[in-house]
Chain A
Amino acid sequence: MRLEHRNIEIKDIVFGDAMKVDGSTLVVDKNAIIDELMKDENIKEVKVDLAKPGEKTRIIPVKDVIEPRYKVEGTPGFAGVTTQAAPLGEGIVSVLKNTAIVTIGDIVGFQEGIIDMWGEGGTWTPFSKTLNIVVDITPIEGLTPHEHEVTCRIAGLKASEVVGLAAKDVEPTEVVVYEKGTIPEENAKYPDLPKVVYVEMLISQGLLHASFIYGTDSIGILPTYLSPTEELDGAVISGNCVAACDKITTYQHQNNNVIIELMELHGKEINFVGVLMVPELTTLRGKFVTCDYTAKLCKELGADGVIVSEEGYGNPDSDLLMICQRLEKMGIKTVLITDECAGWDGMSQPLADTAKEAVAVVSTGNVSHVVTLEKADRILGDPFAVANLAGGWEGAYNPEDGTIKCELNAVISSTSEIGTHNATIELV
């Protein structure tokens, strides 16, 4: 499969009368977004704002982040969701780089996704560096939480497609090609390179804890194979919106750093076999079935090494370690990517489970790390959600100076378990 990303570097963003790219400025026709989204009869009102890096703007509560794109050749849209079901992963895509659609609105009261465009908060979230088109969706009265969630999820995807139209016929500033043959073809080409499989775990546990592959809720699947380019082309969509720090947004699926890195190494240091999408289920039986099945698929694919990334915290820790145990016992070297919930001082046991086989673990940060967020000049979204966030513990919100003390778990993608984040390791 061959997927070409024609990246258009955007350096500024403004509102205007037409959706277009003017030099390196993205001109956003606000009404075009509103008109498209208001076609959904479940939506009462849509507000669109812009948020730029460096502004003292706080966006809360964030539901999803999506990268605006335009499909030049190949299956358009998010196939199976916003467009007809058809295979993704091949063709040409124009990408409005450095921009993002950010959907906001509280579906439940305890949603705590913050993007600060400046200051301490901005240093932790990668979406403080993108030029954000913030879409605030108010649904009609009487929707169930499920209906509300679906409405906002689809609205975000559609907004990204409407804005993506600006990329049509624009010359790219960079072209990146992701190309890989079938498994037998690549095995014949690189017989001496170690075969590496990427296992991507997805929360699959109902409302606000859901993931979708070609629109299919991953709660109903056994682990399944994707070609790496399919995910980079929009095959995987986020339906999670509670645990901000390690929620994998749709933007991060579209730009999955593990896949991009493995594609870079493919044919040089490794033979990247492909991606297994693994649901994190809630029953113990479901966990055993998926973990056994994942290990079996890795073995059948001839994996010498496997990289596993987790999503979420709590019961998924069990799946992460069960997969690791099974693979290591089969003699397959396994690297885990996860974040830690290690307490304010970082000294507590970081995961909900442990295994002696987990000897190669990449930490993406401590979700319990406490940060102080300065007072914002402008809040996009629900100011009440800020007060709600402060309810984490007594005195966390200071009404006199407007600062908030909170854990990283409130900051979007601060400890992303697929690597699209800012935290790094300092050797001491």
Chain B
Amino acid sequence: MKNIIVTNNSLVVKEQKLPCIYVEEDADQVLAKVRDLVHMGYLLLSHPLGASIKMIHSPVVSILMEEKTGPMDLESVEVIEGAILKLRAALGERTFDYRNRSDYEIVDRDRLLAAFQELKLNI
């Protein structure tokens, strides 16, 4: 079992020992990358959306996955497809909130650490 992080959060890339797939675009493109990986058979370990409306405005997001090839995990497909649709709808006419990018990076990193804590990944 090998875990990876798909992210556009430079803090996470700098600090994490886990392998990262770095996406040089906004959160919606990180989700698109995750969807592609799910279609290749990767498993979603952390939920792609944050827990508050403000985190939906975050241009940065980090998602924990398990590297795997084979048949698609239908649960992961359903969650990532739903998340992509919801992100678009919730943003509406907005763009991402770029002005507070560095603060979003801190909160996003913390949610990732929460996922490690839940899964008892000693990283």
Contact = CB atoms under 8 A, between A and B. Distances in A.
Interface of A: 108-112, 145-146, 203-209, 219-220, 240, 242-243, 245-247, 280-287, 312-316, 318, 341, 343-344, 348-349, 352-353, 367-368, 388, 391-393, 409
Contacts of A108: 100, 103, 106-107
Contact of A242 (B47, B55, B86, B89): B55
Given A109-B99, A349-B89, A243 B113 contact: no
A341 B90 contact: yes
A110 B57 contact: yes
B65 to A, nearest CB: 11
A242 B75 contact: no
Nearest to B57: A110
Given A206-B114, A208-B107, A285 B99 contact: no
Given A240-B52, A315-B47, 16 more contacts: A108-B107, A203-B51, A209-B52, A209-B55, A242-B55, A243-B52, A245-B53, A282-B115, A282-B118, A283-B118, A284-B76, A285-B118, A314-B51, A318-B79, A388-B100, A392-B57
Main secondary structure of the interface of A (DSSP, over half): loop
22 contacts: A108-B100, A108-B106, A110-B97, A110-B100, A110-B103, A203-B52, A205-B110, A207-B106, A209-B107, A209-B111, A219-B114, A220-B117, A246-B53, A280-B51, A283-B119, A284-B45, A285-B45, A313-B52, A315-B47, A316-B51, A368-B90, A409-B53
A314 B100 contact: no
A142 B74 CA distance: 46
A201 to B, nearest CB: 10
Contact of B106 (A145, A205, A314): A145
Contacts of A393: 93-94
A121 to B, nearest CB: 17
B54 interface: yes
A169 to B, nearest CB: 42
B107 A353 contact: no
Contact of A343 (B44, B89, B103, B111): B89
Interface in B87-123: 89-90, 92-94, 97, 99-100, 103-104, 106-107, 110-111, 113-115, 117-119
A242 B56 CA distance: 11
Interface of B: 44-57, 64, 75-76, 79, 82-83, 85-86, 89-90, 92-94, 97, 99-100, 103-104, 106-107, 110-111, 113-115, 117-119
A388 B103 CA distance: 13
B46 A284 contact: yes
Contacts of A283: 45-47, 64, 115, 118-119
A341 B85 CA distance: 13
Contact of B51 (A145, A245, A313, A343): A313
Contacts of A391: 97, 99
B8 to A, nearest CB: 17
Contacts of B75: 284
A393 B83 CA distance: 22
Contacts of B56: 313-314
A204 B55 CA distance: 14
Nearest to A315: B47
Contacts of B113: 206
Nearest to A110: B100
Given A108-B107, A219-B114, A315 B92 contact: no
B82 A353 contact: yes
Contacts of B52: 203, 209, 240, 242-243, 246-247, 312-314
